[in-house]
Amino acid sequence: MGRAGGGVAVDDGAENVLLNPAALAGRAYPELSLGFLGAEMAFSDLPPLTWDTNRDGLLNGNDAPLELDASYDPVQAVIIGATRPIGPTLGVGFGLLVPVQRILRLSTFEPALPTYFMYSNRVQSYELGLGVGWRPWGGLAIGGGVAMIPRARYSLDATLDLTVSAASEGDGASDVVAMGLDVHHMQLDLIPGFSPHLAVHWDAGKAVPALRGLMLGASWRGEAGLPVDVEIDLQINAGTEELDDLDEIVLPLVMAIQLGVYDHYVPEQWVGGAAYTLADTLTVSGEVRWTRWDRMQVSIAHVAASTVKGAAIDFGDNPISDGNPTDITMQPTLSPRVGLDLRLPGIDGGKHLGDIRLLTRGGFGYEPTPLVSQTAASALLDSDRVIFSVGVGVEHDDPFRRVIDRAADTRRIRLDGYFQYHLLASGELTRPEPQEPTPGYPVGGSAIPIGGHLLAAGLQWSLEY
């Protein structure tokens, strides 16, 4: 994280589970890492918006402007990682990120309202990665793994009874509407899904001594996401009783609706990069990521299918139209990352701490927006983003191991801290000025400003054991 999240060619230990599992091969010792991450986002203030705020079904002067907050919940997460060598050529590991406020959030948004759709849910879900690396020859290693992402299925069966009757009130009578809701069945299933991960890593110096210090890495991650299948079976019984001279009437209406929701999308991604270490002191790394955002499905609920059946009434096929029409064009993106790692000269920490070294890092990244175009019916906000990061750490010998056995081989303990600053480029979304009040449009027809920043910081403790 101190190098802007990059380093596909760098041998990082437990972090390689998610970056490049091939680099897990050939590690000398098992490693355990524990960390904590905190991040928060702030975006440009949104103008007052036209909306049916009094919920009378009309857009007019009686509706106060909608004051929408463009901020999202901060996240605090625990990070756990572990690696284990199995012989001289095989290594395995896992990495787990768990938000402490919630394990998982499923949330859709209204496309007519301004929304930073790339940021609302992506940090609100846990991530579990499993990886294995194998070094068949020299410094060449191949690896693979999976990232587990949950998917959901929700179903609801209910009956709504609406009855109009005449009831006496004093000397007169009035019509009374009675409503009753009977929920027969409600079920939510979280189903595991998996995103495949393949990778290769080459420590060139182990095959060609003249190339000592050069490492190459590449990885491929498959597409995955969180599809939520919502099935609603609703029966509406509308009827009358004791209403003037009318006979009792019951008109049943059965509605079956299938909603399609896609949340926490993980795109297919290819990463290639290189790193070079000079005199075991300075490591320079760089990589390029190609991400297939053009297949992204945003978290907008759509009516996928519907049926409506009533007594002696034919509603035809799919009679319920989708109230969230969107036409969004996305494109793949190329994103570079560069990083520096500097190991400063060690100092003597005595017989317990051994050689103490200070580690410093820095990184830069650029993420272009994948959003190309959208219609006037939606207000998705995004812009190019630059990433600046710094990190500092300290490592030393395991003092507990030295106390127990002074002749024991050297195992290291490391404490790292990092800070990231993400800056969204300033811009604005301009839509045609409507002829009449339109939901989600700024009052007065002004443009919607785009911009903001994201801050992330964390600590990580690692132990070779």
pLDDT above 70: residue 212: yes
298: amino acid identity, one letter: V
335: its two tokens:
């994103």
Residue 153: in which H helix or E strand, if any? Answer: strand 140-169
CA distance 444 to 437: 9
Of 243-257, 416-430, 438-452, which gets the smallest average pLDDT? Answer: 243-257
In a domain, 37, yes or no: yes
For residue 381, what pLDDT is reported?
95
CA distance 112 to 278: 53
Q: Which domain holds residue 235?
A: 13-464
In a domain, 67, yes or no: yes
Instruction: Give per-residue pLDDT as tens, 153-182.
Output: 778 788 877 776 665 454 554 555 677 878
Residue 327, number of CB atoms within 10 A of its CB? 10
Instruction: Give per-residue pLDDT as tens, 22-39.
Output: 999 988 889 999 999 999
74: its two tokens:
């901060």
CA distance 112 to 439: 7
Going by pLDDT thresholds of 50, 70 and 90, the confidence category of residue 249 is low
Strands (DSSP E) contained in 170-268 are 172-203, 214-221, 224-241, 249-266
Residue 424: in which H helix or E strand, if any? Answer: strand 412-429
| Helix locations, 100-148, DSSP H | none
In a domain, 2, yes or no: no
Instruction: Give per-residue pLDDT as tens, 328-338.
Output: 999 999 999 99
pLDDT above 70: residue 461: yes
* Residues β-bridged to residue 231: 155, 258
Furthest CA-CA distance within the chain? 106
In a domain, 419, yes or no: yes
165: its two tokens:
């009757």
324: its two tokens:
């969230």
Mean pLDDT of the chain: 86
In a domain, 295, yes or no: yes
Listed residue (295, 412, 456) closest to 28, CA to CA: 412
For residue 403, what pLDDT is reported?
58
Instruction: Give per-residue pLDDT as tens, 337-394.
Output: 999 999 998 888 887 788 899 999 999 999 999 999 999 889 999 999 999 999 999 9
Query: Parallel, antiparallel, or unpaired: how do β-strands 448-464 and 385-397 relate?
Result: unpaired
Whether residue 280 contacts residue 343, with contact meaning beta carbons closer than 8 Å, is answered with yes
Q: Which of 94-103, 245-254, 304-313, 383-392 has the highest mean pLDDT?
A: 383-392
- As a whole number of Å, the CA-based R_g of the chain is 29
Is residue 247 exposed (0-12), middle (13-18) or buried (19+ Cβ within 10 Å)? exposed
Average pLDDT over every residue of 227-237? 81
Instruction: Give per-residue pLDDT as tens, 295-306.
Output: 888 888 878 788
For residue 103, what pLDDT is reported?
76
* The Cα angle at residue 406 between residues 400 and 412, in degrees rounded to 5: 50
392: amino acid identity, one letter: V
Q: Which has more pLDDT, 97 or 177?
A: 97
What's the whole-model pTM score? 0.85
Q: By percentage, how much of the chain surpasses pLDDT 70?
A: 90
For residue 374, what pLDDT is reported?
93
Q: How many residues does the chain have?
A: 465
pLDDT above 70: residue 139: yes
Q: Is 142 left (phi over 0), alpha (psi -120 to 50) or beta?
A: beta
Q: What is the 3 state secondary structure string of 8-37?
A: CCCCCHHHHHHHCHHHHCCCCCCEEEEEEE
For residue 157, what pLDDT is reported?
84
For residue 163, what pLDDT is reported?
74
Coil, helix or strand at residue 422 = strand
Q: By percentage, how much of the chain surpasses pLDDT 90?
A: 48
In a domain, 438, yes or no: yes
182: amino acid identity, one letter: D
Going by pLDDT thresholds of 50, 70 and 90, the confidence category of residue 263 is low
Whether residue 149 contacts residue 106, with contact meaning beta carbons closer than 8 Å, is answered with no
How many folded domains does the chain comprise?
1
In a domain, 320, yes or no: yes
For residue 167, what pLDDT is reported?
57
17: amino acid identity, one letter: V
CATH number of residue 300's parent domain: 2.40.160
Going by pLDDT thresholds of 50, 70 and 90, the confidence category of residue 123 is low
Q: How far is CA 177 from CA 167, 182, 238, 350, 356, in A?
A: 10, 17, 10, 84, 79
Query: Parallel, antiparallel, or unpaired: how do β-strands 249-266 and 302-310 relate?
Result: antiparallel
H helices, E strands: number in the chain: 3, 21
In a domain, 324, yes or no: yes
For residue 176, what pLDDT is reported?
56
